[in-house]
Structure 1
């Protein structure tokens, strides 16, 4: 059933009660989890332990309390935290972002002497009679009216995109909340006649539910918040078994804690190097992340790895071309950071470790990520900052390949999922400040990622030397992060200036309307060099300083 949310409804809505509900629900869920831990620890493990009550009946009572507590904890994670809490919070975040975008657009409509007409789903922007009268009085009224109507169509396109995202979020939340209980496992049976048979049936149903949930989580399409909630609900022994049995799914799965992904990916990389001793890329990556004193940053974490052999696992990675690698390396633990930058390199960045096709290799892009973090450290004055070099999707290998938007559109969902995963696993929760930094073709992919799924878990976007934002976000005001949080950096000597209109409007154009950021006067790769004007600016944007 579609929503009837109108632009007037969204512009006037008081969303603060929704925000308070999300916060109070999270607090309530946390308190209930602590209560469940007291049941299993203080009560079952101490007060009602075998030291105080030792009999078959006591054993069964303890087992029953354990089942109830375990079921309660599972429901808190799966339903209370994810399906209710995360859904409410995501709805608030999406609606508030689109409300801000809508208010900015309304200001432009009023300033331009336009008017919004139409009903929900068929809104349109047209010229007011006053504006038409003024334009018809000009020297060239035909051209003046045509230009104004072009402006109205652009505003109309943005309006419809904003409302589509808001309505989709509203419908998705209603669907999730409306389906609660449809897949829930019944509570453990009551003590009494037929109890043994009932317990056996309950445990069989529970095992089937857990197996189905495990398959859903490991399949690669689950929401990262759901994955994080599921992982948190598992016991330590269950997690260890999963890491052992499903390592290749766990290591690239968004919503899994970064430390777990790092350890699993390092195990995989060590095995890969042993099996492929002449693969210089793999050996160089292993040396770099392990901490080779000559080449490494002490705190590097390997959060994603896809080797370029055709029969390898592809969890969390788009189909790859040729000998391209999929690599995600962080300069520290994103789960512990106050500010996280997700840096997406461009064309040819996944083809070699050093240099290929006159392009820097993956090793250089890791260095660039370290430079961004260093600049963020200088700008923030004590905050914990981490930059992630993200090559989790296949990049075009050559400039002709980069003329296609296919790579950007395929990678957008993966980048969006990873960013959502950072938000889901970070200890600060929704308070973590995430900035997506897309360079060159990576900027185009970043723009498409912002439009994917109706909201962006990032707080800001920087398009660095990008050929364009693609077609999903025709202007900065259309971005889910809000126009005020869209930054554009382009040196006057960057060769990318000759590729304008390749992927939508030129990022520096007035029509796009992004915030122009200081990038210095170097070439296409100079933005990320240590001490450059570009990297210093990125550090300031990433830390919101």
Structure 2
């Protein structure tokens, strides 16, 4: 495909061909209806019986199937032409706009795509000091437009050849062939349902044209951005669109709540005190829930816009920050990654725990994932390796909050574990080149989520597991996590109140507390991962204090000791070099 061919292409001819096939499809359908009425139905109602009748009836039914199959094939051809016309028109418009912008910028585009410009500031045609940057951008747009058209051309050619082969050898009259063609057609028009195996999603996505992919991103950013098996860069593109939509939607909902009602009624209760207005109570509950999510989404948008930590994660940030998931289910969902996990040699994914929320993802939680990234890069460099890291922060579930006993229950971990397993399976499916070295990390209640994720059929597709500040992972032995006890690493600060099993003075109703007290190696959710009984690889962390140790595993306050460097070693594939600590 070259510039002249695409620029001069008469797209209307494809539409004319499409209309002709549509007319043929319609006429053929009328023919089938007439044949059904005049031949098949008359024969069926003729009361003709016997061996000859049976053979005739079978042949008529078979012929009816062949006619319907041929009818469907004609429909597929018309749809293929319609799709091609749309794709060519879009590619042509992209080319025309790029050429028009080049002309406006006083750039000359040669037939082979070479761009030149007048560099003399004294000339009337001087293109300006930024001409080279503009030329590069326009050249990229022209190349993209030509690639769009080339892909559309190849796809149409392949599909028409397929249908022509079906027609010439008779397979187009076979119901099974038509069913396969229909499945392929449906796949090009529908997004795979939730729960589809990520490998199948990846295959579906790769089978779409550039135009079809962009249409799905534009029309359904919420689905594409959160579909495991879709490449990470695509999810980022879709989720950025969806994030803006979520922010705008929450802003509109807040505006539509109307003015704040009066807090109290004009009557007093039995004790003479104020009586809260039920309308205010309802309004306040809706307002606060909407505002909380809006603030969370906006915090993430601010991070992506570079308004946090001196631009870290904003445009041009190195490493880039990708938005791999965003949604308003439950308390809200958000997944961010420093670096592209589809390209990185070492991929870490951290599941947070108690009190994690949307607002934290855009702020301190993103910074935590960045510190893990930096530590893994340093470890690689210390080992004379070229660093290749992606560090994911995964809030894909409703983390327990300090507003009830949810941290004692395992239902959130069960749901989160299923989603986390599917997410990592998706990263395996979309990774380019040799499989990445993947590390699952769980902090606090997040370690229970990781533990539950390992118990799904096929296990968790990771090479190493890191558990820090863990209240238990739902199993009694590190070997039960499915990757070998020597690949399960545990960090527990001496004075971490969450990781410590409850003492009699900390009794909270529920089996977890009772079990922990009666079992010296017990924790809130099973055997203490830091115990010798559990059998994991214990690495050194700072003792900390009751008030700060639980948050220091990732160097948040600079008091984590060996914890973050050890985690960096594990993430970079050098877990054998950690500073060890004896189990409790």
Fold shared, TM-score > 0.5 on shorter chain: yes
The yes-or-no answer on 1:328 pairing with 2:329 is no
Structure 2 residue matching 1:228: 3-state secondary structure: helix
Hey, what's the Cα distance between the residues in 1 that align with 2:167 and 2:424? Answer: 52
- Relative distance call for 1:541 and 1:190 in structure 2 (3 A) is same
What residue in structure 2 maps to residue 458 of structure 1? 462
Q: Of residues 300, 308, 311 in structure 1, which corresponds to 2:321? A: 300
- Relative distance call for 1:295 and 1:192 in structure 2 (3 A) is closer
What residue in structure 1 maps to residue 568 of structure 2? 539
1:461–1:485 contact (8 Å) kept in structure 2: yes
- Relative distance call for 1:221 and 1:492 in structure 2 (3 A) is same
The yes-or-no answer on 1:345 pairing with 2:352 is yes
2:305–2:311 contact (8 Å) kept in structure 1: no
Hey, what's the Cα distance between the residues in 1 that align with 2:366 and 2:165? Answer: 59
What residue in structure 2 maps to residue 142 of structure 1? none
**CA-to-partner distance for each residue in 1:274-305, whole Å, 9 max, x for gaps?**
34346322222101023236353321111000
The yes-or-no answer on 1:501 pairing with 2:529 is no
Hey, what's the Cα distance between the residues in 1 that align with 2:188 and 2:306? Answer: 34
Q: Of residues 502, 517, 538 in structure 2, which corresponds to 1:516? A: 538
Q: Of residues 232, 236, 240 in structure 2, which corresponds to 1:258? A: 232
- Relative distance call for 1:188 and 1:215 in structure 2 (3 A) is closer
2:344–2:389 contact (8 Å) kept in structure 1: yes
**CA-to-partner distance for each residue in 1:476-527, whole Å, 9 max, x for gaps?**
1122111111111101121121345210101112221111012222200001
What residue in structure 2 maps to residue 440 of structure 1? 444
The yes-or-no answer on 1:376 pairing with 2:379 is no
Hey, what's the Cα distance between the residues in 2 that align with 1:241 and 1:218? Answer: 15
Hey, what's the Cα distance between the residues in 2 that align with 1:325 and 1:491? Answer: 30
Hey, what's the Cα distance between the residues in 1 that align with 2:344 and 2:237? Answer: 19
**How far did 1:453 drift?**
1.8
1:338–1:428 contact (8 Å) kept in structure 2: no
What residue in structure 2 maps to residue 393 of structure 1? 397
1:251–1:260 contact (8 Å) kept in structure 2: yes
Give the count of matched residue pairs.
Answer: 345
Hey, what's the Cα distance between the residues in 2 that align with 1:339 and 1:464? Answer: 19
2:243–2:297 contact (8 Å) kept in structure 1: yes
The yes-or-no answer on 1:363 pairing with 2:363 is yes
RMSD: 3.4
What residue in structure 2 maps to residue 283 of structure 1? 298
- Could you list the runs of 4 or more consecutive aligned residues of structure 1 that deviate by over 4 angstroms after TM superposition? 187-197, 199-204, 211-217
1:218–1:250 contact (8 Å) kept in structure 2: no
Q: Of residues 209, 214, 223 in structure 1, which corresponds to 2:197? A: 223
**How far did 1:193 drift?**
7.5
TM-score (norm 2): 0.54
1:344–1:442 contact (8 Å) kept in structure 2: yes
Hey, what's the Cα distance between the residues in 2 that align with 1:200 and 1:515? Answer: 60
**CA-to-partner distance for each residue in 1:48-87, whole Å, 9 max, x for gaps?**
xxxxxxxx9xxx9xx99xx9xx9xxxxxxxxxxxxxxxxx
**How far did 1:539 drift?**
0.4
- Relative distance call for 1:516 and 1:217 in structure 2 (3 A) is farther
**CA-to-partner distance for each residue in 1:117-165, whole Å, 9 max, x for gaps?**
xxxxxxxxxxxxxxxxxxxxxxxxxxxxxxxxxxxxxxxxxxxxxxxxx
Hey, what's the Cα distance between the residues in 1 that align with 2:180 and 2:535? Answer: 54
What residue in structure 2 maps to residue 411 of structure 1? 416
Hey, what's the Cα distance between the residues in 2 that align with 1:193 and 1:256? Answer: 35
Hey, what's the Cα distance between the residues in 2 that align with 1:216 and 1:482? Answer: 40
What residue in structure 2 maps to residue 483 of structure 1? 485
1:189–1:202 contact (8 Å) kept in structure 2: no
Hey, what's the Cα distance between the residues in 1 that align with 2:212 and 2:224? Answer: 13
**How far did 1:424 drift?**
1.0
2:501–2:523 contact (8 Å) kept in structure 1: no
Gaps of 5+ in 2: 6-16, 22-72, 81-160, 252-290, 503-521, 575-584
Q: Of residues 181, 199, 208 in structure 1, which corresponds to 2:182? A: 208
Larger CA Rg, structure 1 vs 2: 2
Gaps of 5+ in 1: 1-40, 46-55, 71-186, 309-319, 355-360
| Deviates further, 432-441 or 284-293 | 284-293
